[in-house]
Structure 1
Amino acid sequence: MSNLEANQIHALPWLEDSYALSQEQQASYQRDGHIVLRGVANEAEINIYEPIISDLVKKLNNQDKPLDQRDTYGKAFIQISNLWEQSEAIQRFVFAKRFAKIAADLMGVDGVRMYHDQALYKEPHGGHTPWHQDQIYWPLDTDKTITMWMPLVPISEAVGSMTFASQSHLLGYINKMVISDESHRTLAGYIEGKGFETKSHGAMAAGDATFHAGWTLHSAPGNPTDTMRKVMTVIYYADGLQIAEPDSKARESDLKRWFPGLQPGELAASELNPLLYSRK
């Protein structure tokens, strides 16, 4: 890295200060399995980091099929994982102590490690994201996982945030269906049968964020606008967890990718899973 590049990275916002959560907000998350928090990153911070993230997403995106020639998953979003490995600037954003402390506070744990980050860019007129549970992919036997979902551009009511099935996280592992048309049909019926309230947090400003538990059922509408829905996500889990025995191909794949060199029963702490916040 040149001195110029080092100075440019050093000048980026650190995002180390705390975001105050009320007891009511923490209780709401614990009850419903999701919450929206406004202004987790401010406008000036987003204005600096969004172009950096978007430039790398554009560079790494290898999706070349037109929307109408993709399957449901392919229509849902451009998905790029672990941008922090490719960019020291993005690493500073993804590793933000401010974000990680919120995750720890909402889950009520002493520390959190990173599972991975994901840019989820829903293209103009892109398709919906089917109902699913995130944690069916993760070889972790716990209820202490959480995802931060932060738009990097304003999201109108027409696009909206994700839709959550409130309190569905309390049931844990519902089934092993990966994101698909089948998961959407089956889980929509399940949600209706259980009588879960579904809730979207509506329009969001850049830098607002939702947080949801790994077991919370959620979906997202399509993008009916002519602009890209740019979202950055970070997945956290409680420090001190052990890797679970994979019970599906999806979890076997994730074990190899996100816990390289580790085996079931070992501490979930590979080189890709840094401790991002600890009260100790």
Structure 2
Amino acid sequence: MTVELPDRAQVIVIGGGIIGASIAYHLTKRDVSDVLLLEQGQLTGGTTWHAAGLVSQLKSTHSLTKLATYSTRLFEELEDETGQATGYRAPGSISVASDPERWEEMRRGISMASTVGVDIREIGMDELNEKVPLLRTDDLIGALFIPKDGQTSPVDTTMALVKGARNGGATVIEGVAVKRLLKKGDTCIGVQTEEGQTVLAESVVMAAGMWTRHLAETIGVNVPLQACEHFYIVTEPLDGAERGMPIVRDPRNYTYFKEETGKIMAGFFEPKAKVWNL
């Protein structure tokens, strides 16, 4: 059955994952209420539903760190604002270094993060063992602790953002796939759906994840975006995996660990990951 769509909107957001939902939410906070979000399937049905949900404040640049600290504050307050549970909690996070170069980089991060108010400090191996008893530390030379880093449910947080966007006047529609973008001169002026419906807009925002590159190609724009596989495992319940255990990141070995209901989720990134072809 064809879904009824408006003829036009001030802003069209393509994609109903956490990025698209956040864009719609923040547009309404800036008094842009004529927002139409289109999701080809169900909300969170792409990458979002199986994301790890890590909320980190320390990033590679001052600007990104400042943005990340805002995200932390938002996730702390979003449930109270919208009435939609997000699953957010703040067990803190620990980043470890096993070589001098990585440790020097991390220590530089302390100075940068401190300028935007991030609570961050070095911890010794004894305190590290106390906070994460399961962690092997004999090959480490340093560790940083950020007490207010957290984790959240990606699906629940997305639904809270969607509820906030709707409360602000945005329209969110599922089951509508965008087939191509519409262009006039050098300006994107709207979208056409797979059902042949056309919606015009002043602005079009692509938040379609790995589908973004293909949509951009419909108006001759190259978006250098390629999805790659990422793996994580979840263990059986483990002694020592207590609720409140800090998230652990090991950047040199491309891994992270977090507690989930008495189990450990271990995620692995690869420098040369397997490409996911559409």
TM-score tier (shorter): under 0.3
Greater per-residue helix proportion: 1
Greater per-residue strand proportion: 2
TM-score, normalised with respect to structure 1: 0.22
Answer 1 or 2: higher relative contact order, Cα 8 Å, separation at least 6: 1
TM-score, normalised with respect to structure 2: 0.22
